[in-house]
Amino acid sequence: MTRPERADAIRDLAEEEKLDLLGELWDSLDHEAPTPEWHKEELDRRLASADAASFSSWSEAKARILGSK
């Protein structure tokens, strides 16, 4: 089967079949492969950003949302 034929066959699958296939593909990957350095850098960046995030209480958020109408 050529790559375009395989792509067409995948497009023709039902959503549930696509999800099953995706799970099988994921399981077939070598999960022991080393993580690229840029993945680690991105995770560190996101963690630092999350630590600096500010949050509103539900009552503050609700007032802001309803006040904008």
Look at residue 66 in the predicted model and tell me its pLDDT: 92
pLDDT tens per residue across span 10-24: 999 999 999 999 999
Q: Where are the beta strands (DSSP E) in 9-69?
A: none
- Angstrom distance (rounded) from CA 62 to CA 69: 11
21-25 own/partner pairs: CB under 8 Å, 24+ apart: none
Look at residue 55 in the predicted model and tell me its pLDDT: 82
Q: What is the mean pLDDT of residues 14-39?
A: 92
Q: Which two tokens stand for residue 8?
A: 């067409």
Where in the sequence is the domain holding 51, given as residue range(s)? 3-67
Number of domains in the chain: 1
Contact 56, 64 (CB under 8 A): yes
